[in-house]
Chains A and B, each alone.
Chain A
Amino acid sequence: MIPDLGKYADAVLWSYAVSIGLMLALVAISVMRGRKVRSEMEKVEQRVARNG
């Protein structure tokens, strides 16, 4: 499946692992924070709307 990367296999695989890992982490953290802030905003908005 994985092509014969020869003697540079480590370098190539680590590059891909680090890069893709960092990108996924960035997306995950962004989405998690986004969800948290969004739900907090809805909570506060409802409270404000109720209180008048």
Chain B
Amino acid sequence: MIALLLRDLKLAFRAGGGFGLGLAFFLIVTVLVPFAVGPQSALLSTIAPGILWLGALLACLLSLDRLLALDWEDGSLDLLATAPLPLEAIVSIKALAHWITTGLPLVLAAPFLGILLNLPPSGFFWLVISLLLGTPAMSVIGIFGAALTVGLKRGGLLLSLLVLPLYVPTLIFGAEVARRGATGMDTQTPLLMLAGITAATIALLPFASAAVLRINLR
């Protein structure tokens, strides 16, 4: 299992692996927002938590179709399916690798981008916590979508259409935590909901993803 994880991590960090692409996108979106809505700090302060959450979500989305596409193309997915490891575990490990290479960097970058958007001081901690809890869910949900569209020629757009509605609960609660933290309100309820959704998706969705991969590998 560790071997698979390390392999995926190595592939992501190699040239052409797409590492850093998500991060760059996150930065670009953050920079574009003031151009779109105007530079007034009060306005930016208010929308900063939501924009940062949205930027992280979209950056995650970007890297999803690479998740399985490369393995599909060179046949390693077929090999992995016949490996002694259960497909559910393989899918979970790939999601973990995705989170380490995409989600985690976004979480670490978020505070710096928060500065750009005048995020209120109390918001930094809660932004990071909410992203930390939410990005794993995005990886796990993302791999489900990637499994559905693996092998499709123009899968990327369809992948977005399928995955974005599934992201809505995580986005709502995650952004709510960040927003409430920024305004000093109590974050307990959305935090619990966010954590619950992430935990449930990590535990249950790999079964659906593995089932879908089996269907596609037939």
Tell me if chains A and B make direct contact, with any CB pair below 8 A: no
